[in-house]
Amino acid sequence: MEEWKPTQMTKKFFTTTMIVVSLLALNGLIFLGVRFIFGIGSISNIDNQYPWGLFKGLLVAAGVALAAGGFTTAAVGHIIHQDKFHSITRPAILVSVIGYTFAGTSVMIDIGRPLYIWHPIVMWNGSSVLFEVGVCVMIYLTVLCIEFLPAVTERFIGRVNFPGILSKFNNITDKLLRIIDKILGKTMFIYIIAGVVLSCLHQSSLGTLMVIAGPKMHPLWQTPILPLLFLLSAITVGLPMVILISIICAKSFGIKPDMEALSELGSMVGPLLAMYLAFKIGDMMLRQTFVYLYTFNTASILFVLEILIGTVIPLRLFLSRVVLKSPVGLAIASGFVIVGTFMYRMNNFLVAYTPPYQFKTYFPSIGEFSVTIGFICLQIFLFRLAVTIFPVISVPETAAVKTKYSIRSAVK
pLDDT (tens digit, 0 to 9) for every residue of the chain, 412 residues total? Answer: 567 788 888 888 888 889 999 999 999 999 999 999 988 888 888 887 777 888 888 888 888 888 887 777 777 766 665 567 778 888 889 999 998 898 888 888 888 788 888 888 888 887 888 888 888 888 888 999 998 999 999 999 888 888 888 888 889 998 999 999 999 888 888 888 888 888 888 888 888 888 888 888 999 999 999 999 999 999 899 889 999 999 998 888 888 888 888 998 899 999 999 999 999 999 999 999 999 999 889 999 999 999 999 999 999 999 999 999 999 999 999 999 999 999 999 899 888 888 877 777 888 899 999 999 999 999 999 999 999 999 988 888 765 544 443 444 333 3
d(CA 145, CA 151) in angstroms, rounded, equals 10
CA proximity to 90, closest of 76, 68, 66, 73 = 73
> Is 310 in contact with 344 (CB distance < 8 Å)?
yes
Strands 4-7 and 393-396: antiparallel
> Is 54 in contact with 341 (CB distance < 8 Å)?
no
| Angle (deg, nearest 10), helices 129-156 and 86-110 | 130
Sign for the pseudo-dihedral over CA of 88, 89, 92, 97? negative
CB atoms within 10 A of CB 48: 6
Provide the β-strand partners of residue 7.
393
What global pTM score does this model have? 0.87
Residue ranges in 308-358 assigned as alpha helix (H): 313-318, 321-324, 327-346
> Is 65 in contact with 205 (CB distance < 8 Å)?
no
- Residue-level pLDDT at 81: 54
d(CA 270, CA 47) in angstroms, rounded, equals 41
